[in-house]
Amino acid sequence: MSALVTLPVLLPMLGAALTVLFSRSAFVQRLIGIVVLAVVSAVAAVLLVAADQGAPVVAELGGWPAPVGIVLVADRLAALLLLISTLVTLAVLLYAIDQRIADYGRETASTTFHPIFLLLSTGVSLAYLTGDLFTLFVAFEIMLAASYVLITRRTSATRIRSGMTYVIISLTSSLLFLTTIALVYAATGSVNLADLAERVGELPTGLQTVLALMTVVVFGIKAAMVPLHFWLPDSYPNAPAPVTALFAGLLTKVGIYALLRTQTLIFPLDGPSTLLLVIASLTMLIGALGALAQDDLNRLLSFLLVSHIGFMLFGLAVFDAAGIAGTALYVVHHITVQATLFLVSGLITRRTGTVSIDAMGGLAKTSPALAVLFAVPALTLAGIPPTSGFVAKLALLQAGAGAGLETSLVAGVVILASLLTLYAMVRVWVRVFWGAEKPPLTDPDPTDELIVGTARTAKPMYVATGALVAVSLTIAMVAGPLSAVTGRAGQDLFDRAPYQVAVLGEERTP
């Protein structure tokens, strides 16, 4: 069983190497990508069942036991997020392949896209599974290096500016992460997460606070929490739709996951964290208000993404088992719905030839399929019952209401931000799907990767997007069992002991 844990990291990496070897054949490349991601999804599902029914599955790399060697750990949270992330990655890959076929024909192979895409998946899997702070850094670097290439690929003058912002911000946060690791190692002499959980507790309180704050800043930049969010609405919207969908779905959530893992395991708190509550409220409000001011559909969605990062931070800030469980459920829901919305935005842009909401209109009449594809995830994001967004928000609100006065106040902000999200979505709906029909614009720059205003939108692209909508609806349907799993995952994280026992063995844990 423990060998299975290495597969979600190894398979995409091998797949990336193979796609380089077969860079002449578009068909083989696509086949490798799809097969690898499908197998990883299956492995993740097996890991989830194993972790949920028994203990976390641990693999000691090279046979070195923790805390000396590097361990990969699949506990409930890691396996669950791995499963949903890989499913979303697979759907985005299908969309990207369909888009490529629609734009360039069946035979044109892409030398860089598939290897880089699979490497990104490697980095994401490794970030979820690793039980070691330095390997987490390496995972982030694999993921980010791949994302640098994806965001600046075949770039134009505008996109290189946003790509540049993204690369520089990410590099800076990585260097801060490295600094944090150095300080943690100097203070404790270990980088193993389970080992750190014990050793950091023995440090002076001031030092603990400094280290905790540094991790919050580092992962806060990656997760785009206010006031460290400014790079996101500027860089994400300029990438091609599948790339933006993947980034919006996965990269920020990996930051949230790292925050969840480090804060619960290494820097546990006794009660709600006032700092995180304030940050969460600001993130929710600034993101939602920023979205209302946008005319560019992708920028609007990016601001909503920032806003919903605040929801996840809120669950963490409550800092009890229910709050952490709520965050876990929200991450699962949000990975799916945000990726879907960006894919739909890509479809809309292809059809209308513009990202400006003002220049669109009457799409409900000309393209009813698009209207359905947009309406479902939009309502899900806003949290209308019975969608998965409602279930996830309810979990957060219940956690917030049960943990005292200040969290109840922030729970009010959650409701306000949800209403603002709904308003932003209704605004998009009224302007884009209702009203007078407007003719599609022509592609202003046909040479770059963004092909817009074309009738060549292939049916399979709708199918891939529809598949993601179906995943989102499935989450709503299995909400009962799913929230039971996230509930247990939250309890695990809050207790800390299951993780430590799994990694270090019985005798080393108090």
* Chain contacts with other proteins (rule: CB under 8 A): 134, 137-138, 141, 145, 148-149, 152, 155-165, 167-168, 171-172, 174-175, 178-179, 181-183, 185-189, 191, 203, 230, 233-234, 237-238, 295-296, 299, 353-356, 358-359, 441, 443-445, 448, 450, 452
Residue closer to other proteins, measured from CB, 290 or 310: 290
Residue closer to other proteins, measured from CB, 70 or 399: 70
Residue closer to other proteins, measured from CB, 234 or 406: 234
Residue closer to other proteins, measured from CB, 233 or 315: 233
Nearest-approach distance from CB 79 to other proteins, in angstroms:
27
Residue closer to other proteins, measured from CB, 58 or 218: 218
Nearest-approach distance from CB 193 to other proteins, in angstroms:
15
Residue closer to other proteins, measured from CB, 199 or 496: 199
Nearest-approach distance from CB 181 to other proteins, in angstroms:
7
Residue closer to other proteins, measured from CB, 159 or 334: 159
Phi, psi angle pair for 474, to nearest 5° = -60, -40
Nearest-approach distance from CB 282 to other proteins, in angstroms:
17
Nearest-approach distance from CB 358 to other proteins, in angstroms:
8
For residue 247, count CB atoms less than 10 angstroms from its CB and return exposed for 0-12, middle for 13-18, buried for 19 or more. buried
Length of the chain, please? 510
Contact 332, 81 (CB under 8 A): yes
Nearest-approach distance from CB 144 to other proteins, in angstroms:
8
Direct distance between the N- and C-terminal alpha carbons of the chain, in angstroms, rounded to an integer: 27
Residue closer to other proteins, measured from CB, 133 or 489: 133
Tokens of 363: 């799409």
What's the rounded Cα separation, in Å, for the pair 232 and 235? 5
Return the ∠ at Cα 391 (arms to 79 and 277), rounded to 5°.
80
Tokens 């605004």 sit at which residue? 427
Tokens 């892409």 sit at which residue? 110
Nearest-approach distance from CB 165 to other proteins, in angstroms:
7
Helix H or strand E encompassing 292:
helix 274-292
Nearest-approach distance from CB 160 to other proteins, in angstroms:
5
Nearest-approach distance from CB 138 to other proteins, in angstroms:
7
Residue closer to other proteins, measured from CB, 69 or 368: 69
Tokens of 453: 């205003």
In the chain, the amino acid numbered 282 is L
Nearest-approach distance from CB 105 to other proteins, in angstroms:
22
List b or e across 46-61, with b for residues whose CB sees 16 or more CB atoms inside 10 angstroms: bbbebbbeeebbbbbb
In the chain, the amino acid numbered 390 is F
Tokens 């003719």 sit at which residue? 439
Question: What residues contact residue 488 under an 8 Å CB cut-off, 6+ apart?
Answer: 52, 76
Residue closer to other proteins, measured from CB, 276 or 450: 450
Residue closer to other proteins, measured from CB, 297 or 332: 297
Is the dihedral angle over the CA atoms 354, 355, 357, 363 positive or is it negative? positive
Nearest-approach distance from CB 227 to other proteins, in angstroms:
14
Tokens of 308: 């919903």
Tokens of 120: 């990104």
SS3 59: strand
In the chain, the amino acid numbered 329 is L
Tokens of 169: 């911000």
Residue closer to other proteins, measured from CB, 54 or 201: 201
Question: What residues contact residue 334 under an 8 Å CB cut-off, 6+ apart?
Answer: 253, 308, 311, 312, 392
For residue 337, count CB atoms less than 10 angstroms from its CB and return exposed for 0-12, middle for 13-18, buried for 19 or more. buried
What's the rounded Cα separation, in Å, for the pair 97 and 297? 23
Question: Over 133-169, what HEC string results?
Answer: HHHHHHHHHHHHHHHHHHHHCCCCHHHHHHHHHHHHH
Nearest-approach distance from CB 406 to other proteins, in angstroms:
32
